[in-house]
């Protein structure tokens, strides 16, 4: 395995452009992100997911790096049978929505050559929604929402391929998650302002890890 990785890095170096200064350039990227989650009851997502992403990286004339990307946008439905609420057993349909973007500010270790390693700080605003519609008439619809703001540290290896193209491999570790959790139960027997409740939470080092691989066009 180590021999394969070394051969891959050598191939990147051979076909890369030596001594290319990326200051003032933009890189338009498309790729995929692997998410590793362990968030207990705060999410209905599985432990491992792969999502496509789009983004653009700006490298200033002073060689600071700014990155903006669409981290996640997805809509889907799940159907669960035999849900036990303690009083009833019923089937339910859940509609899930997730929208998040990512901003990064980075400082490169070097700004010349075919390999550009850099570290960055990232901010991720995220909205997640779960709308549950049970089939049991005695159980009310529920709408669970999370408004998240993640802070993270990223490590990047940006490979320059033949002047116009790039390959960006990065890993992310979450430092903090500040979020508001709200739930609305559509109970017609109570007032609307009593149907919803919410709380703010702050979580250090949430167990969300990401590995991203992107191909880019340098402009």
Per DSSP, the residues of 137-164 read TTS--EEEEEEEEEEEEEEEEEEEETTT
Using an 8 Å Cβ cutoff, are 79 and 90 in contact?
no
Nearest to 192 by CA among 156, 140, 124: 140
How far apart (Å, rounded) are the C-alpha atoms in residues 129 and 204? Answer: 22
What's the CA gap between 209 and 172, in Å, rounded? 6
Report the SS3 class of residue 5.
helix
Give the pair of three-digit tokens for residue 153.
């540290």
Q: Ramachandran region of residue 135, left (φ > 0), alpha (ψ -120 to 50) or beta?
A: alpha
Rounded-to-integer distance, Cα 103 and Cα 123, Å: 5
Report pLDDT for 15.
35
pLDDT given at position 17: 36
Q: How far apart are CA 179 and CA 146, in angstroms?
A: 7
Domains of the chain: 2-218 (2.40.160.20)
Going by C-beta distance under 8 Å and a sequence separation of 6 or more, which residues neighbour residue 73?
98, 99, 100
Residue-wise pLDDT for 4-62, tens only, equals 444 444 433 433 333 346 788 899 999 999 988 765 444 445 577 888 999 999 999 88
**Per-residue confidence (pLDDT) for residue 82, from 0 to 100:** 59
Nearest 5 degrees, angle CA 82-CA 127-CA 182?
60
SS3 content of the chain, % helix, strand, coil (to 5): 10, 65, 25
Specify the pLDDT at position 8: 41
DSSP helix/strand/coil, 193: helix
The pLDDT tens digits for 165-201 are: 999 999 999 999 999 999 988 888 888 778 888 999 9
What would the mean pLDDT of 202-213 be, rounded to a whole number? Answer: 92
pLDDT for 86-143, tens place per residue? 555 556 778 889 999 999 999 988 766 788 899 999 999 999 999 888 776 667 888 9
Prediction pTM value: 0.77
* Token pair of 70 as six digits: 């669409």
Q: Which H or E run includes 7?
A: helix 2-15
Say which residue, 103 or 84, is predicted with more confidence: 103
Query: Do 156 and 59 contact (CB within 8 A), yes or no?
Result: no
Strands 115-134 and 196-204, how do they pair?
Answer: unpaired
- Contact (Cβ atoms closer than 8 angstroms) between residue 8 and residue 23: no
């Amino acid at each position: 395995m180590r021999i394969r990785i070394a051969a891959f890095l050598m191939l990147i170096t051979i076909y890369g452009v030596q001594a290319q200064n990326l200051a003032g350039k933009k890189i338009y990227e498309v790729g995929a992100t692997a998410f590793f989650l362990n968030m207990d009851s705060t999410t209905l997502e599985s432990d491992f997911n792969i999502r496509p992403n789009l983004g653009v990286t700006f490298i200033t004339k002073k060689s600071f790096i700014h990155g903006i990307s669409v981290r996640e946008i997805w809509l889907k439905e799940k159907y669960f049978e035999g849900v036990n609420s303690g009083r009833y057993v019923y089937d339910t349909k859940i509609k899930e929505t997730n929208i998040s973007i990512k901003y990064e500010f980075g400082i490169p270790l070097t700004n010349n050559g075919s390999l550009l390693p850099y570290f960055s700080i990232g901010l991720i605003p995220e909205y997640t929604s779960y709308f549950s519609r049970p089939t049991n008439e005695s159980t009310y619809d529920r709408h669970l929402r999370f408004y998240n703001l993640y802070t993270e540290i990223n490590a990047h290896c940006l490979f320059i391929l033949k002047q116009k193209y790039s390959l960006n491999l990065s890993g992310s570790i979450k430092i903090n998650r500040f979020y508001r959790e709200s739930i609305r139960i559509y109970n017609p027997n109570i007032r609307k302002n009593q149907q919803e409740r919410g709380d703010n939470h702050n979580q250090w080092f949430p167990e969300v890890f990401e590995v991203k691989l992107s191909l880019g066009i340098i402009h």
